[in-house]
């Protein structure tokens, strides 16, 4: 089974690209979605996170307040490392389980959608890595519009992410997404055609 990594920073359009791939019939394993799923009420990982970041990241029903967790994690690089160390192991195990299931089903190509593809070493499981990128001001505006975040909050998150320059050096393919959806989809179609010819 061929594994293609797809990544991009905040506001890059990575999720939009993944949705397009799904519409074309491809299987997409979403590492970020898995990260959300393992932090549902009652999951053991939430107890550990509350011990590290404080009980106030959970509401009275044990539901994670993601905004409070993000504020705590992005306030300090060490906090972010702590969050990653707690969550990544479980995410990786679930990714591997889903890949094994798809391989057993005879799936030939699967996309691994991961915002932290390079930061976590998940790129090492991939045959190719596709980076969705856009001009920084466009990414900031998209993130503000999508999340209702302030510019300062978006910038704080950007500062805690690997730079676009570094990601561009590591990616095997770069998809420019400062334009419209049609331009994004056209680039994806070209890369898909290249995959299907091999």
pLDDT tens by residue, 13-67 = 999 999 999 999 999 999 989 988 998 898 889 989 999 999 999 998 889 998 8
Record the pTM.
0.83
The 10 Å Cβ neighbour count of residue 145 is: 10
Distance (Å, rounded) from C-alpha 181 to C-alpha 75? 34
Distance of CA 48 to the CA centre of its chain: 22
CA proximity to 118, closest of 80, 161, 149: 161
Structure tokens at 19: 């949705």
Report pLDDT digits (tens) over 90-142. 899 999 999 999 999 999 999 999 999 999 999 999 999 999 999 999 999 99
Q: What is the architecture of the domain spanning 2-189?
A: 3-Layer(aba) Sandwich (3.40)
Domain regions of the chain by residue span:
2-189
């Amino acid at each position: 089974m061929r594994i293609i990594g797809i990544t991009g920073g905040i506001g890059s359009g990575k999720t939009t690209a993944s949705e397009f791939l799904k519409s074309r019939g491809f299987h997409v394993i979403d590492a970020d979605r898995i990260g959300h799923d393992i932090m549902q009420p009652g999951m053991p990982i939430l107890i550990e996170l509350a011990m590290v970041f404080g009980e106030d990241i959970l509401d009275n029903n044990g539901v994670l307040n993601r905004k409070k967790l993000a504020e705590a994690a992005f306030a300090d690089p060490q906090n972010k490392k702590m969050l990653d160390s707690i969550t990544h192991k479980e995410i990786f195990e679930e990714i591997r389980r889903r890949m094994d299931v798809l391989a057993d089903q005879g799936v030939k190509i699967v996309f691994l959608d991961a915002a932290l593809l390079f930061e976590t070493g998940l790129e090492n499981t991939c045959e190719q890595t596709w980076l969705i990128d856009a001009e920084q001001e466009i990414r900031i505006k998209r993130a503000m519009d999508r999340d209702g975040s302030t510019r300062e909050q978006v910038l704080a998150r950007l500062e805690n992410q690997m730079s676009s320059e570094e990601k561009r050096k590591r990616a095997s393919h770069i998809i420019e997404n400062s334009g419209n959806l049609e331009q994004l989809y056209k680039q994806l179609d070209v890369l898909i055609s290249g995959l299907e010819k091999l």
